[in-house]
């Protein structure tokens, strides 16, 4: 089954404790991206990757890191989480053509205390 | 920068009736794509319908259709014969066809749709 797999689904952590949210896709997609969803703001792009070893900032990259060492994986790293990073996070992937369907993971609800 | 605005935070409709969700956007581009996504309580993001800006014909997918007004920069979603399973948060989204803006979706704030039995 074609899918984007995110883990964990829920995460509660404390300020400053490094964490990684994993994302993996099985569709051989070149394009992958991370979004955060906040009430009243919709979804906003954090980072994206057009291929292996090619990543770039989205609209809200501060406090986040990503890596793309393999085509299928695109982890999101919070090296020193803060309470303002409490949010619902989505990983997504698609073919490179911009009108192609964007496949989303099931989301990670992160709470930073 | 491109922006997307959904001015209705919440909407409700009786089951089997028709409801229209509004979306406006701002762009200086002539070539782009517009989308409506549905997010049920499961949090999954589900593509409902998409529209290419160069196509004048409005997109339809079964009970879902759009009213795309390019000059007015308006992209509303009409749901006919509303069903209980249509209850969800709906997001309007925009994507450039070319260049840097093609690498992201710009989302509106969302409209929470309630279906009354």
Instruction: Please list the pLDDT of chain B residue by residue as tens digits (117 residues).
Output: 899 999 999 999 999 999 999 999 999 999 999 999 999 999 999 999 999 999 989 999 999 999 999 999 999 999 999 999 999 999 999 999 888 888 899 999 999 999 999
For residues A56-84, average pLDDT: 96
Q: How confident is the model at residue A95 (pLDDT cuts 50, 70, 90)?
A: confident
Q: Is the pLDDT of residue A18 over 80?
A: yes
Please tell me whether residue B90 adopts helix, strand or coil conformation: strand
The angle subtended at Cα A28 by Cα B50 and Cα A55, nearest 5°, is 80
Q: How far is CA B56 from the centre of its chain?
A: 17
Q: Is the pLDDT of residue A97 over 70?
A: no
Contacts for A3 with CB less than 8 Å, ≥ 6 apart: A25, A26, A27, A103
How far is B71 from A10, CA to CA, in rounded Å? 43
Parallel, antiparallel, or unpaired: how do β-strands B19-21 and B64-69 relate?
Answer: unpaired
- Tell me which of A23, A41, A43, A55 to substitute to probe the interface with B (most B C-beta atoms closer than 10 Å): A43
Residues of chain A with Cβ-Cβ distance to B105 below 8 Å are 35, 43, 45, 102
Parallel, antiparallel, or unpaired: how do β-strands B3-5 and A4-7 relate?
Answer: unpaired
Q: How confident is the model at residue A98 (pLDDT cuts 50, 70, 90)?
A: low
Residues of chain B with Cβ-Cβ distance to A94 below 8 Å are none
pLDDT tens, A28-49?
A: 999 999 999 999 999 999 999 9
Tell me the torsion sign for CA atoms A27, A28, A33, A34: positive
The reported pLDDT for the residue numbered A111 is 98
Contacts for B56 with CB less than 8 Å, ≥ 6 apart: none
For residues A57-66, average pLDDT: 96
The reported pLDDT for the residue numbered B56 is 87
| Tokens 């992160």, residue located | A110
Q: Which two tokens stand for residue B32?
A: 């782009």
The reported pLDDT for the residue numbered A8 is 97
Q: Is the pLDDT of residue A96 over 80?
A: no
CB contact under 8 Å between B44 and A104, yes or no, is: yes
For residues A72-82, average pLDDT: 97
Average pLDDT of chain A is: 94
- Tell me which of B53, B54, B55, B103 to substitute to probe the interface with A (most A C-beta atoms closer than 10 Å): B103
Q: Which two tokens stand for residue A33?
A: 């991206």
The reported pLDDT for the residue numbered B101 is 85
Query: What DSSP line would sit under A47-104, residue for residue?
Result: EEEEETTEEEE-S--TT-EE--SSSSB--EEESS--GGG-EEEEEEEE-SSTTSPPEE
Work out the number of other CB atoms within 10 angstroms of the CB of residue B106. 23
Q: Is the pLDDT of residue A100 over 80?
A: no
């Amino acid at each position: 089954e074609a899918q984007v797999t995110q883990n964990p689904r829920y995460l509660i952590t404390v300020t400053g404790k490094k964490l990684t949210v994993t994302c993996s896709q099985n569709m051989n997609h070149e394009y992958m991206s991370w979004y955060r969803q906040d009430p009243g703001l919709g979804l906003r792009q954090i980072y994206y990757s057009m291929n292996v070893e090619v990543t770039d900032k989205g609209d809200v990259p501060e406090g986040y890191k990503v890596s793309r060492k393999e085509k299928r994986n695109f982890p999101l790293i919070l090296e020193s989480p803060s309470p303002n990073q409490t949010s619902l996070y989505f990983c997504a992937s698609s073919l490179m053509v911009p009108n192609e369907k964007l496949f989303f993971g099931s989301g990670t609800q992160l709470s930073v205390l | 920068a491109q922006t997307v605005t959904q001015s209705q935070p919440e909407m409700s409709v009786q089951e089997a009736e028709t409801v229209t969700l509004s979306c406006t956007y701002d762009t200086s581009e002539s070539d782009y794509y517009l989308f409506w996504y549905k997010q049920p309580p499961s949090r999954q993001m589900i593509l409902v319908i998409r529209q290419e800006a160069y196509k004048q014909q409005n997109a339809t997918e079964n009970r879902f259709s759009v009213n795309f007004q390019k000059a007015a920069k308006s992209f509303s979603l009409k749901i006919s014969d509303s069903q209980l399973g249509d209850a969800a948060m709906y997001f309007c989204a925009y994507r450039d066809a070319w260049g840097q803006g093609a690498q992201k979706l710009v989302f509106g704030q969302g409209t929470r749709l309630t279906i009354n039995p």
